Structure 1
Amino acid sequence: MDVFTCAGCGAGLTCPVQRVALPVEIRYRGGHHWMPPLMAPGTYAVDPEPSGLPWRSWEDAGEAGAAAAGVHAPVWTLSLGARNRIVLSPGDTRGTRLLPERSGDSCLGVVGGDAPNLVCAACGLGVGSREDDCGVWNTVRYEPHAVVRRPLGLPAPPPEPVRPTPPLDPDGGWNVRWRAAAGAALAHLLAASGGTALDLPEGPLTTLLGRDLARLLPPGPPALRVALAGPGRPAGDADLVLVPLHPRTGRPWSPPGGVPVGLPADVWAHLALPPETSPMPVSGRPPAGVLRDDYPLPDRPFQRFHPDHGTLRHVLARLPEVREPWLRALYDRL
């Protein structure tokens, strides 16, 4: 467990928080509606990619400058800002003051501007930015040079068992985490395919990715087999295996065979583990403290599943394989 303090005066800026993997849906943009906090309470993540000012066009940065920022294919705008910003839930911050006049162009809330819109309440140092506008995750991002991580020397809470995340939200729409996970996995599968068709097993994996792989890769006999693999689920003779990412480190599970492609552990668990069965109804009132569970999710979504296009392009542009002519041509078509 850690706390973050102001680099200027040492004042505390967070409650105790635990580092976890950066959520795969961090690049998702939600349109004209309010977005919830990205990070779970009591956690933080580090974003290793450059973000924020200064921004450059692809032409101005040049291929060499873009590659130095980890981008290998054209993007609309390229950030050359700081790496390793600290991403938190706003409720876990302490001792800061919001300056709305420093917000950038926004609609219904605030976003980061030219200068940090959060300052240390004790000394006035700009320490980060709060964002809660429509279409962006509700987050606080601390500048890496403005805060200091202070380990508390306390053991982290024991890891909770991975709970499968259902693919559908209560309103019948596809869950954002599923769409982002599918977009990232699709990018890695395309890069590993070598430009040939892939053989997916029948079932939810084909529902998740099969239609888009068939649309983006040329027709023909499959050259590589894809399968799910993970703890208690061997990879067999598959060439590419979708495996769970560790919730805290973000590292993929290492299979004994096959090239691993990571999925968030909660998404992978829903695909790979046996489905839960609905309990049998009982007579009488439930015991005190027991909540009803009537499985209110709709049986069918109101639209087809589509991997998140923004996540797909973002991940693909940052894979070195995108410089191969066939994959660059596919990227340009996207």
Structure 2
Amino acid sequence: MVTAKVARVALPDHAGQKYGHDLLSGLLEPGTYAVDPGDGRPWRSLQPEPEEQGGVRLQTYSITGPPDRIGVAPGDVRGTVFIPEQLGGCCCGWDGQYGPNLACAECGRPVASRIDDCGFWQVVWLEPDAVRPVAVAGPVQRVTGWEELPSTPPVGQRGYWSPQWEAAVAVALAHLLVVSGGERVTVPDGPVAEVFRRAIDSLLPPGPPERRLGLAGPGLPATTEIALVPRHPQTGELWPCDAGAVVPLAADVWTYLAFHELRQVYGMPASVRRDDPPPLLPNSLFRADGRVFVSTLKRLAARQPWVRRVYDRMTDRPYEDPFW
């Protein structure tokens, strides 16, 4: 056994995110695992392969992992040892750039890569051809009801936008771009506009015809042409909706947008603020993660020429406006 008992959840949107230079927390909760389809996530360097170009041999790196690799929390790993010569890292830990860096303690076979360098969400990726699932006795995982969806605040203690929000909105923007048909999309004033409008106005053309984007989900009716619906954090299923088009959004971000105000401190009576600490406010405009946006477009394999033009432009400049 190379892991403790774990139950499957949906792969988080920030699974392939590279963020800043600080030590980040775990990608997955203890006792859970997720499967990465290996379809264009923005990070997973493998061994270099030589390439001929103009008579010069270059060293190039693949940036996607093997299909169906399994992510688990580092604390759930059992019976493994490090492979010293494979411990490639950049600054404060290991990044898996040389392939699997964990081996089975009994047989010595490489089985996984531990990722814990600064800027990476900490996770252990099990090699799909080195492990297999084993059923164990015990209670079956309870699936959270739609009315119990989690919520993640958009701003951290230091006033910066949450990187999970930046990744989740980037994924939703890529889906929105595909379903928009190249038509202008409008967003009513409110929390959704705070994080989506600037990017939408930059990526989609101005002027009529227009389509309207709005939230739909548990407790909210679908009243717009394009519905922003929650994606279940365990099953990955989308909230069933009758809207003409749906755009998935990570459940914890959707819940906060649906039932909180991003700037609710303004206009709050002083008597209320005195007894209830005001919510943390961002110190800058919201910017979705450009690299996550590009990798999601690649995964969606959109064939519309205008979507392809956006993808080609953003591939070389993932930090251009509105992502910076």
TM-score by length of 1: 0.79
SS in 2 for 1:164: coil
Q: Is 1:188 matched with 2:168?
A: no
Residue deviations 1:168-199, cap 9 Å, x none? 11111101111111101111111111222102
Residue deviations 1:23-62, cap 9 Å, x none? 11112111322121111111110101255536779999xx
Q: Is 1:175 matched with 2:168?
A: no
SS in 1 for 2:132: strand
Question: What is residue 97 of structure 1 aligned with on the other side?
Answer: 81
Which blocks of at least 5 consecutive residues in structure 2 are unaligned? Answer: 54-59, 266-274, 315-324
SS in 1 for 2:15: helix
Residue deviations 1:277-299, cap 9 Å, x none? 99xxxxxxxxxxxxxx964743x
* TM-aligned CA deviation for residue 208 of structure 1: 1.1
C-alpha distance in structure 1 between counterparts of 2:288 and 2:64, whole Å: 27
C-alpha distance in structure 1 between counterparts of 2:81 and 2:62, whole Å: 29
Q: 1:56–1:228: structure 2 CA closer, same or farther, 3 Å change rule?
A: farther
C-alpha distance in structure 1 between counterparts of 2:201 and 2:10, whole Å: 31
C-alpha distance in structure 1 between counterparts of 2:98 and 2:37, whole Å: 20
Residue deviations 1:188-225, cap 9 Å, x none? 11111122210212211111110111112121024212
Question: What is residue 289 of structure 1 aligned with on the other side?
Answer: none
Question: What is residue 312 of structure 2 aligned with on the other side?
Answer: 332
Q: Is 1:123 matched with 2:112?
A: no
SS in 2 for 1:44: strand
Which blocks of at least 5 consecutive residues in structure 1 are unaligned? Answer: 1-11, 61-75, 279-292
C-alpha distance in structure 1 between counterparts of 2:3 and 2:241, whole Å: 38
Residue deviations 1:216-242, cap 9 Å, x none? 212102421211101221112x22111
C-alpha distance in structure 2 between counterparts of 1:166 and 1:59, whole Å: 49
Q: Is 1:198 matched with 2:191?
A: no
> Which residue of the other structure, out of 264, 267, 291, is the alignment partner of 1:310?
291
Between stretches 308-317 and 29-38, larger displacement belongs to 29-38
Letter in 1 for 2:4: C
Letter in 1 for 2:46: L
* TM-aligned CA deviation for residue 82 of structure 1: 1.9
Residue deviations 1:126-179, cap 9 Å, x none? 111111111111110110111111122433343453232111111111011111
* TM-aligned CA deviation for residue 249 of structure 1: 1.3
| Equivalent pair of 2:73/2:124 in contact (CA under 8 Å) | yes
Superposition map of 1:30-41 within 5 A: 30-41=19-30
Superposition map of 1:159-308 within 5 A: 159=143, 161-236=148-223, 238-273=224-259, 295=277, 297-298=279-280, 300-308=281-289
SS in 1 for 2:255: helix
| Equivalent pair of 2:46/2:61 in contact (CA under 8 Å) | no
SS in 2 for 1:127: strand
Letter in 1 for 2:132: V
Question: What is residue 109 of structure 1 aligned with on the other side?
Answer: 93
Superposition map of 1:8-157 within 5 A: 12-50=1-39, 52-53=45-46, 78-79=62-63, 81-157=65-141
| Equivalent pair of 2:45/2:61 in contact (CA under 8 Å) | no
Q: 1:295–1:40: structure 2 CA closer, same or farther, 3 Å change rule?
A: farther
Letter in 2 for 1:249: T
| Equivalent pair of 1:18/1:43 in contact (CA under 8 Å) | yes
C-alpha distance in structure 2 between counterparts of 1:269 and 1:93, whole Å: 32
Give me the CA root mean square deviation. 2.7
Q: 1:59–1:249: structure 2 CA closer, same or farther, 3 Å change rule?
A: farther
| Equivalent pair of 1:187/1:316 in contact (CA under 8 Å) | yes
